[in-house]
Structure 1
Amino acid sequence: MSVELDVFVGNTTIMDKEVYQLWLNGYTVNDAVRVRMEGGVLEEYEASAEVLLSDTMDQFRTFQMCERLLHIPAKLANQLLFQIPPDRQAMLIDRYYAFDDAFAREVLGKKLSKGTKKDLDDISAKTGITLKSCRRQFDNFKRVFKVVEELKGPLVENIRQHFLLSDPLARDYAAIVFFASNRFETGKRKLHYLTFQDFAFCAGQLINNWTLGSVDNLAEDMDVDLDKEFLQDLKDLKILITDKDLLDQHKSLVCTALRGKTKVFNEMEANFKNLSRGLVNIAAKLTNTKDVRDFFIDLVEKFIEPCRSDRWTTVDMALYLTHYTNSAHMLDSFRYQAVWNRYMGVIKSCILRMYHD
């Protein structure tokens, strides 16, 4: 009895980007076949459903075998089992470590532990992301966190070097690591309107300006730990609200600069002292771990919400914060200018990003 057997021998491992994405998204083989058929692949290649099923199964097996290498991306270039061109290796790595912003938003600031992993069923149902994909993304977050948390040097660069990620993706992972390390509160109802990218932007500001690494290139854990000496120095800023003469001078300077430039000038003038107290009190309390965790909720409650209720526009907000920051330069008895600039530079950037008018 004769048997016919078709054999194809090649050097380069064939990997279809669309099939890879379906695998990453947690599709079963049958679901992936259905999606490919709906996309017209049978007509494009004049193939049968059986060939499509066989091709999909084969590629899924290849991806599964590659997965252990993707856990340590540097191994992908040095292994001999699969012949994968460098550009295709980069694609495999970047897509494997890519994540859904909706998923990242749900776990941002939480401890990357078994307890959080138990919530993945609920997160999957809430976001519409398959459970398999949620697990991959969570495991990637945890893997990156464990590798870089003990490393010295710039956080983004460490992630980029150890996981061979593109710069934008490495920066997003740095934000995830930074939030997990400092356990910032992100789940309160008042913060629900903020996206992952809003928080990632703010994390970049904090990392670049308030951490040990922003002032000392030799510091350990430099891009994860906030600069405690700086946080302690922030208490000196209270003079802006406890010294009545200084508070009145500051208000006068800011209001003089703003008069005639905005439709909400009357509201700015009336609420100046409350808004100033809010910003300065946030600064003065950052030596406490709990207040660091509540940083974003404090910005919303003590500054953003009052401004939103008075119908400030984003332009109004930028104008106010610019003059509020710069006017302190003109206060003769204010001797904490460097600390003030370092604090308000980040505060201004974060508030403008968080203020969705």
Structure 2
Amino acid sequence: MTTNLDIFVGNTTLIDEEVYQLWLDGYSALRLRSGILEQTGATVDVLQSDTMDHYRTFYMLERLLHSPPKLLNQLLFQIPPYRQTMLIERYYAFDEAFVREVLGKKLSKGTKKDLDDISVKTGVTLKSCRRQFDNFKRVFKAVEELRGSLVENIQQHFLLSDRLARDYAAIVFFANSRFETGKKKLQKWASVVFPLALTDTNVDDMDVDLDKEFLQGLKELKILITDKDLLDLHKSLVCTSLRGKLSVYNEMEANFKNLSRALINIASKLTHSKDVRDFFVDLVEKFVEPFRSDKWTSNDVRLFLSQYTACAHSLEAFRHQALWERYMGTLKACLLKMYHD
């Protein structure tokens, strides 16, 4: 009895995206529960063998994924460009729950020892936690000494999409500045991602450190609260511009001086590392929580910050307009991301 076989020979490396995701997530048995046996009529042994074959390929690719340009230039694996992009993008993707636990911590062996606990707390497998942690550390080390745009440096060295490169720029910045993000009141990644954190990821010559000259200059803003006449005039201008537009106008008018002092005091203290670390905690405690308690809407917050910023331009004695715009632009962006109705 003869059997006819159709045979196809090729050199393109086959990548199953679903199996790749399981490998990235640290799972192997889940494929058995996907219903694929019923769909294909394959046996458990065949499925396990196929899964392990894919996993062997991924393990061989992993050393190239540590330096993505090498994946593009190697000749061993014939992988179409769109597949290469997918492999890189997914390898460097991360879980928000995991990021919240390590954000603001030093990317060191000490933190890596805590990954077991972080895995249990977040539900992210230990294998995936290690991959993500090592990715953060790898990117940080690659760009920490480079000049130029942080986002562009990350894209050049790791070939990430613009969105993911910007995420990593924020992670690198947080890791370097050690912002406090672990407290329960800050436990929302959306609340702190892209802080614009007193710097600008688009400038031509940016490193991972805060602009010390800029932070030192922020002390000059204190004239807005130390000069009583200036404080009163600023309040008058802001209140006039917002009368009839805020749902919490009376609360804003009554608390204006306290709000103004808090906004300026945060700026003037940012030359101290502890105050930089507590930046987001201060925003929550001094603005987000009081705003929520007084039932400010997001639109109220936006209008107040916009007019608070704009009205300072009408003060002749206030001569720090560029500094003011940069600081308030950053603060407004942070607060609006952190505040939810």
Would you say same fold, with TM above 0.5?
A: yes
Encode CA deviations 1:22-43: one digit per residue, 9 max, x unaligned.
Answer: 0000013xx1xxx334322223
How many equivalent residue pairs?
337
Please give the secondary structure, in 2, of the residue aligned with 1:172: helix
Q: Which segment drifts farther, 342-351 or 48-57? A: 48-57
RMSD of the TM alignment (CA)?
1.8
Q: Distance in 2 between matches of 1:190 and 1:38?
A: 38
Shift of 1:7: 8.7
Q: Which segment drifts farther, 143-152 or 181-190? A: 181-190
Following superposition of structure 1 onto structure 2, how do residues 55-134 of structure 1 map, counting pairs within 5 Å?
A: 55-134=50-129
2:331 maps to amino acid: I
Q: Distance in 1 between matches of 2:113 and 2:63?
A: 23
Encode CA deviations 1:206-234: one digit per residue, 9 max, x unaligned.
Answer: 3317xxx74xx3x4xx2312221211111
Alignment equivalent of 1:314, drawn from 298, 306, 310: 298
Match for residue 239 of structure 1? 223
Q: Distance in 1 between matches of 2:76 and 2:63?
A: 12
Encode CA deviations 1:148-185: one digit per residue, 9 max, x unaligned.
Answer: 11111111111111111111111111111000111111
Q: Distance in 1 between matches of 2:95 and 2:228?
A: 49
Encode CA deviations 1:12-63: one digit per residue, 9 max, x unaligned.
Answer: 11110000000000013xx1xxx33432222333323222111111111111
2:11 maps to amino acid: N
Q: Distance in 1 between matches of 2:291 and 2:81?
A: 51
Match for residue 158 of structure 1? 153
Shift of 1:330: 1.4
Match for residue 256 of structure 1? 240
Gaps of 5+ in 1: 1-5
Please give the secondary structure, in 1, of the residue aligned with 2:42: coil
Match for residue 47 of structure 1? 42
Aligned: 1:300 with 2:284: yes
Shift of 1:137: 0.5
Encode CA deviations 1:131-162: one digit per residue, 9 max, x unaligned.
Answer: 01100110111111111111111111111111
Match for residue 133 of structure 2? 138
Could you tell me the TM-score, scaled by structure 1's length? 0.90
The answer (yes or no) to whether the contact 1:160–1:170 under 8 Å persists in 2 is yes
Match for residue 199 of structure 1? 192
Match for residue 3 of structure 1? none
Gaps of 5+ in 2: 1-5
The answer (yes or no) to whether the contact 1:175–1:200 under 8 Å persists in 2 is yes
Q: Which runs of 4+ in 1 moved over 4 A?
A: 6-9
Encode CA deviations 1:315-341: one digit per residue, 9 max, x unaligned.
Answer: 111111111111111112111112111
Shift of 1:9: 4.2
2:24 maps to amino acid: L
Aligned: 1:22 with 2:22: yes
Shift of 1:350: 0.8
The answer (yes or no) to whether the contact 1:160–1:167 under 8 Å persists in 2 is yes
Match for residue 278 of structure 1? 262
Q: Which segment drifts farther, 332-341 or 241-250? A: 332-341
Q: Distance in 1 between matches of 2:27 and 2:199?
A: 37
Aligned: 1:171 with 2:169: no
Shift of 1:190: 2.8
Please give the secondary structure, in 2, of the residue aligned with 1:208: coil
Q: Distance in 2 between matches of 1:95 and 1:332?
A: 53
The answer (yes or no) to whether the contact 2:190–2:337 under 8 Å persists in 1 is no
Q: Distance in 1 between matches of 2:194 and 2:140?
A: 19
Could you tell me the TM-score, scaled by structure 2's length? 0.94
The answer (yes or no) to whether the contact 2:154–2:169 under 8 Å persists in 1 is yes
The answer (yes or no) to whether the contact 2:288–2:335 under 8 Å persists in 1 is yes
Please give the secondary structure, in 1, of the residue aligned with 2:198: helix
1:260 maps to amino acid: G
Please give the secondary structure, in 2, of the residue aligned with 1:282: helix
The answer (yes or no) to whether the contact 1:207–1:224 under 8 Å persists in 2 is no
Encode CA deviations 1:218-253: one digit per residue, 9 max, x unaligned.
Answer: x4xx23122212111111111111111111111111
1:59 maps to amino acid: H
Q: Distance in 2 between matches of 1:38 and 1:116?
A: 34
* Alpha carbons of structure 1 residues 229 and 242: separation in structure 2 relative to 1, 3 Å: same
The answer (yes or no) to whether the contact 2:145–2:207 under 8 Å persists in 1 is no
Q: Distance in 1 between matches of 2:105 and 2:305?
A: 31
Please give the secondary structure, in 1, of the residue aligned with 2:11: coil
Identity of aligned residues (%): 72
